[in-house]
Structure 1
């Protein structure tokens, strides 16, 4: 949606000029307006960081720093470093997306509540824009949870205890 606007296109009947004008009416700074003109805002930059986090959780460079990270190249990534933001994101964005879809999008879609009526974002156009944003939060939150769970299982420490045949108990390897 934001890429379409950044390229000067129209999404859900809303043009990039209309979204920038809406930001301007709401008192956005010159920096925000410039970034928005190129399709970059807080949510877009956060999404890019989120994609980077997802890639790190699913690729080998998420466990060992790659060559393109010169000061840390070859060192193990501390397990908590990707897991803390991943679980925080999964536990906040996933439920937010699911609850918002059920509480905000579904009632409007089935005619129980009115469609949005907020400046440029009104009617089915506003609903579609909201659905894309809310849906993205839900899908990303769930994907983040799955990737975090997988990473956590793949990187868990291995037990150093081995069974000792001599005393029938456990002996710790040193």
Structure 2
């Protein structure tokens, strides 16, 4: 959705140029607006960085400090998954007609609801994926426990990589 707007396309009744105008009206920074005008939505760039983090979590790095990946991963998972889940509940209530969704900057409330579903759905899916990938990385990279038997032989428990 954001990439479509950033590349000048239309989604939910709003064009990329209209999104830039809305961002400018809402007080977006000069850097943000410059990126938008170049067709680079800042949130889409952040999402790309998030995908790189997911990729890094599933690769078998050998000498990577664990906290370098696990810190951002668990922080992101702890914020994005609940935000996405709450957003899905909000969107479901709007879809069911329990609450009213305002059109805001969109042509119709249905367009606004579509953007809510796409946006919070992406946050929820990414938050869950980040949780799973971080937990897997944590388990795969746990330190190896070396025990020494009474006879002096080393006994290895656990493993660093499977």
Which TM class, normalised by the smaller chain length? 0.7 to 0.9
Q: CA RMSD in A?
A: 2.0
Provide the residue aligned with 1:28 in structure 2: 28
User: 1:118-149 CA deviation, whole Å, 9 max, x = no partner?
Assistant: 12374111111121111111100000000011
Aligned-pair distance for 1:36? 1.6
Aligned-pair distance for 1:7? 2.1
Provide the residue aligned with 1:107 in structure 2: 93
Does structure 1 conserve the Cα–Cα contact (< 8 Å) formed by 2:3 and 2:44?
no
Aligned-pair distance for 1:8? 1.6
1:150-169 equivalences in 2 (<5 Å): 150-164=136-150
Is 1:82 matched with 2:83? Answer: no
TM-score, normalisation: structure 2: 0.85
Does structure 2 conserve the Cα–Cα contact (< 8 Å) formed by 1:79 and 1:155?
yes
Distance 1:20 1:112 in 2: 32
Q: Work out which of the two has the higher radius of gyration on C-alpha atoms and give 1 or 2.
A: 1
- Secondary structure at 2:36's aligned position in 1? helix
1:132-151 equivalences in 2 (<5 Å): 132-151=118-137
Distance 1:129 1:27 in 2: 21
Structure 1 runs not aligned, ≥5 long? 65-75
Does structure 1 conserve the Cα–Cα contact (< 8 Å) formed by 2:13 and 2:107?
no
Residue 121 to residue 155, structure 1, CA distance change in 2 (3 Å)? farther
Does structure 2 conserve the Cα–Cα contact (< 8 Å) formed by 1:96 and 1:138?
yes
Runs of 4 or more above 6 Å deviation:
none
Aligned residues: 154
